[in-house]
Amino acid sequence: MPKTLKPYLVPRLRIGVVGLGYVGLPLAVSASKAGHLVLGVDIDHAHVSRVNSGDSRIQGVAAVDLLHAIKHGKFQATTNYGDLRDVDCVLICVPTPLTVNKKPDLSYVENAVKNVAKVLKKDTLVILESTVAPGTTRNVVLPILRTESRLDLSDVEVAYSPERVDPGNRNWNISNTPKIVAGLTPTALARASKFYSSFIQNIFECSTVEVAEMAKLLENTYRFVNISFINEFAQICEALGIQVNEVINAAATKPYGFMQFTPSLGVGGHCIPVDPIYLADAALKSKASAKFIDLAIEVNNAQPSYFAKKAQRILGDLRNKKILLVGVAYKSNVSDVRETPAKALRVLLEQMGAIVVWHDELVMKWEGEESVPMNNSFDLAILVTLHDYMSLTDLGTVPLLNTQEIDQ
């Protein structure tokens, strides 16, 4: 069960955070606010320079908090792994994306662990936060640490605690989102739990790292499957002449057994489109069935084609038609374009001969191009992601294809 450990039980620690992106930098700043001395490591020299000047460019990290940590000597960023020699704990928060063949890519984790191992001293706690398949912490991370550091098994303490970051969420943050923690040893578990309790309210301890690894995959695969289902459900409603959002709103009045999901162009971000593939790959390797996941992937991947065909039905021949994509970030009120379904839609429309441009003032630059203004000079606008600042009235009389609401 979740538990709360009093912050005063946790002494000030020297913390290393490897990977200063959407997961690592907010974690580093939160740890520094709790009194820990934090050293962040990232291989991107330009990003490290910006971070050290107080410019994070990471949503959820306030410049005032970052500058305060830097000014008071509680945080510094570097590209040098050697600076981690004297830390008490290292958090690895690097990406776990997919390869071009849509297979799990552990290269970032493996490289980070190898570099950490080279400077690892006895009794330093290593915590992996990156999303991985069950067994990775025990069978990949630990062997690398032992081999590259040349420490004895008893000298290496390893824990796993999957990140839970939802950019743009105004209700849930690092502090009040329960934290799953697991360790390869009871000591690693206890140390990791105490550390996180210094700035996170509720800690949930798992019996094994495999349980924690699998829980992370379950969280996002659950969302992925349900998003894919509601997109297919929306198409059924359209075929029957029923307004899908009205159906969803009616069903959402049920106070139990139902969770509301809404139609969209697809899913994006660093977790939801990626984690189910890690789970499906693990199932394949263990010769277990993953039919639901495979079908959800198929449905999700078909969404851009579905809306490209809808655009063709609206305009007829798309050749030389000027189409505006409204919002290219993967979700509302964030600038993150990782795995955005807008990319696949754009490719399909251009293959059909359309001239495609986009508007998103939160993103500004994407795919080598810049955001264009919303106005009435387009043959069609396709709403992909609606940000709070947007006023669709700026489109004037331009027809609007709304991927978030099937019936117009």
Contact (CB, 8 A) for 95 and 130: yes
Active site residue 237: no
Distance CA(102)–CA(296), nearest Å, equals: 15
Asked if residues 403 and 234 have their Cβ atoms less than 8 Å apart, the reply is: no
- Element of type H or E holding 322: strand 322-326
Residues recorded for the chain: 408
> One of 93, 206, 237, 271 is an active-site residue; which one?
271
138: buried, middle or exposed (CB in 10 Å: 19+, 13-18, 0-12)? Answer: middle
Specify whether the backbone of 377 is left (phi greater than 0), alpha (psi in -120 to 50) or beta: alpha
Picking from 212, 240, 69, the residue whose alpha carbon sits closest to that of residue 128 is 212
Report the C-alpha dihedral over residues 201, 113, 81, 117, rounded to 10 degrees.
110
**Residues near 338 by Cβ (< 8 Å), separated by ≥ 6?**
268, 269, 270, 330
Residue 265 half-sphere exposure, CB side, CA atoms within 13 Å?
Answer: 32
DSSP 138: I
Residue of 86, 47, 54 lying closest to 71 (CA atoms) = 54
Cα separations (Å) of 84 from 54, 318, 344? 21, 56, 41
Give catalytic residues, as residue numbers.
271
